[in-house]
Amino acid sequence: MNTILLESVITCPSCGHKKQETMPTDYCMFFYECENCKTLLKPKPGDCCVFCSYGSVKCPPIQENKGCC
């Protein structure tokens, strides 16, 4: 059984700011505001959440091969 990682570092594509966040296990995060430049991040086409698009680790459902949240 694989260990599911719940920590991911989100990198803002606008300013490069990085922040470690704990990923929720019961819902997807469709929006994330960069605390540095206030850019509102949304998933890229084909990704289910901001962690899959901008995080260092994909969201828990993707890690478990369960598909989108």
pLDDT at 2: 74
Q: How would residue 18 be classed by pLDDT, with cut points 50, 70 and 90?
A: very high
Token match 């469709």: residue?
A: 30
DSSP-based three-state secondary structure for 56: coil
Asked if residues 22 and 7 have their Cβ atoms less than 8 Å apart, the reply is yes
Predicted confidence at residue 37, as pLDDT, reads 98
Residue 1 pLDDT: 55
Please provide the size of the chain in residues: 69
Q: What is the pTM of this model?
A: 0.89
Tens of pLDDT, residues 26-65: 888 999 999 999 999 999 999 989 999 999 999 999 998 8
Q: What is the H or E stretch that residue 61 is in?
A: helix 60-63
Domain layout of the chain by residue ranges:
7-63
What secondary structure letter does DSSP report for 54?
Answer: H
